[in-house]
C-alpha cells in the first residue's frame, strides 16, 4: 500500500502535466500561421435558414437588434415588394452583415455566461465519441475567429455543442432559455430568462374535431409569426390575420386569440444565432 501511493501521485501528476501540454499544443496547431484564420465574415458567408427564420418569427426584435436587419428581406417581403436586382443584392449583403454581427455577439455572450464550463466543443478521437456527438473535430475547423478564445470546454455537464447548429428549432432554444426542464427534463441548467422579454402573440386553437380524433388537448394552439410589445398591437394583428384568411379557412376566425408569450432580446437573438451556427462551417480544403 505504501508503494502504491507514490505510483498514484506520479501518475496523477503525469496526467496533469500531459493535459497541460496538450492544452498548449492544440491552440498552437490552429494558430501557427500555416493557414490564415477565417474571419467572422468568412465563416458566416452562407446565411443559415435558421437565422432567416428568426426575422420571420420576431420581425420587430430582429430589426431592432441588427443594424442591417431592415434591409435583409424575408421571402414574404420579397414577394410583396417585387424588388429589382439591386434591392435583392442589397438584401443579400444585409443578411450576411447581420449574420456575422449576430454570430460575433452570440459568441461573446456564450463566453460571458461561461457556457464552456458545462458544454464542450470538441469531439475527441476516443471512446467512440463520434457516435454520440458527430465526426471527430479537426484542428483546421477551429481555425476561425469564433474560436478565439478556443472554446473546447472543460467538462460535459451538458452535451457537446460542436455540431449543435440545426439540431433543434429556434423555438426550442427560446423555450430552453425560459425553462430548460420544459424541453430537457433531466437538465440541471438554470433559467436564462434575461435573454427573453414579455410580449403578445396571435395564436390559433386547434380544430376541436381534430383534437378529439387525435386525443389532443382542445386548448392546443399554434402561434402566428410575430411577437408584439403590447396587447393592443397584437389585437390589431389578429384583426389583420382574420381579414386575410382564405375563404376555406373562414371557420378559423373564431379560434384566433391573443396570448402572452416571450420573445428573445437582442442578445437572445444573437446567442441563438451562435448556437445555430455551431458546426455549420467547414474549413476550406488545401488547394
- Is the bond leading into 79 cis (omega within 30 degrees of zero)? no
- Residue 209 corresponds to which cell in the numbers above? 374535431
CB-CB contact of 156 with 174 (8 Å): no
Kindly list the domain boundaries of the chain, sorted by start residue: 194-267
- What is the pTM assigned to this prediction? 0.84
d(Cα 114, Cα 112) in Å, to the nearest integer?
5
Our measurement of the distance from residue 272's CA atom to the centroid of its chain's CA atoms, rounded to an integer in Å, reads 3
Q: Which conformational region is residue 187 in: left (phi greater than 0), alpha (psi within -120 to 50 degrees), or beta?
A: beta
Q: Residues of the chain whose pLDDT is less than 50?
A: none
DSSP string, 119-173: ------SSTTHHHHH-SPPPGGGG-BGGGSS----S--SS---TT-TTTS-HHHH
Q: What is the residue-wise DSSP string for 85-101?
A: HHHHHHHHHHHHHHHHH
Per-residue pLDDT tens for 23-76? 666 666 655 556 788 999 999 999 999 999 999 999 989 999 999 999 999 988
Q: Indicate the helix (H) or strand (E) that contains 221.
A: strand 221-223
Phi and psi of 164, rounded to 5°? -70, -30
The pLDDT score that the predictor gives to residue 29 is 63
Amino acid at each position: 500500500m505504501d508503494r502504491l501511493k507514490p505510483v498514484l501521485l506520479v501518475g496523477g501528476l503525469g496526467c496533469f502535466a500531459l493535459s497541460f501540454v496538450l492544452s498548449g499544443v492544440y491552440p498552437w496547431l490552429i494558430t501557427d500561421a500555416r493557414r490564415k484564420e477565417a474571419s467572422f465574415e468568412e465563416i458566416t458567408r452562407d446565411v443559415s435558414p435558421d437565422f432567416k427564420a428568426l426575422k420571420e418569427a420576431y420581425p420587430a426584435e430582429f430589426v431592432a437588434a441588427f443594424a442591417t436587419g431592415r434591409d435583409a428581406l424575408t421571402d414574404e417581403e420579397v414577394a410583396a415588394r417585387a424588388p429589382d436586382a439591386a434591392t435583392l443584392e442589397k438584401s443579400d449583403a444585409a443578411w450576411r452583415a447581420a449574420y456575422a454581427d449576430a454570430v460575433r455577439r452570440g459568441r461573446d455572450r456564450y463566453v460571458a455566461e461561461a457556457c464552456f464550463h458545462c458544454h464542450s466543443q470538441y469531439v475527441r478521437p476516443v471512446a467512440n465519441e463520434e457516435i454520440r456527438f458527430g465526426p471527430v473535430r479537426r484542428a483546421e475547423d477551429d481555425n476561425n475567429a469564433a474560436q478565439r478564445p478556443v472554446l473546447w470546454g472543460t467538462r460535459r455537464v451538458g452535451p457537446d455543442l460542436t455540431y449543435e447548429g440545426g439540431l433543434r428549432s429556434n423555438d426550442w432554444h427560446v423555450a430552453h432559455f425560459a425553462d430548460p426542464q420544459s424541453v430537457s427534463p433531466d437538465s440541471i441548467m438554470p433559467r436564462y430568462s434575461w435573454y427573453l422579454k414579455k410580449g403578445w402573440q396571435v395564436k390559433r386553437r386547434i380544430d376541436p374535431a381534430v383534437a378529439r380524433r387525435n386525443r389532443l388537448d382542445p386548448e392546443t394552439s399554434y402561434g402566428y409569426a410575430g411577437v408584439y410589445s403590447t396587447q393592443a398591437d397584437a389585437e390589431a394583428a389578429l384583426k389583420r390575420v382574420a381579414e386575410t384568411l382564405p375563404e376555406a379557412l373562414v371557420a378559423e376566425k373564431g379560434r384566433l386569440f391573443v396570448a402572452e408569450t416571450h420573445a428573445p432580446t437582442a442578445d437572445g437573438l444573437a446567442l441563438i444565432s451562435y448556437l445555430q451556427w455551431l458546426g455549420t462551417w467547414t474549413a476550406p480544403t488545401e488547394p
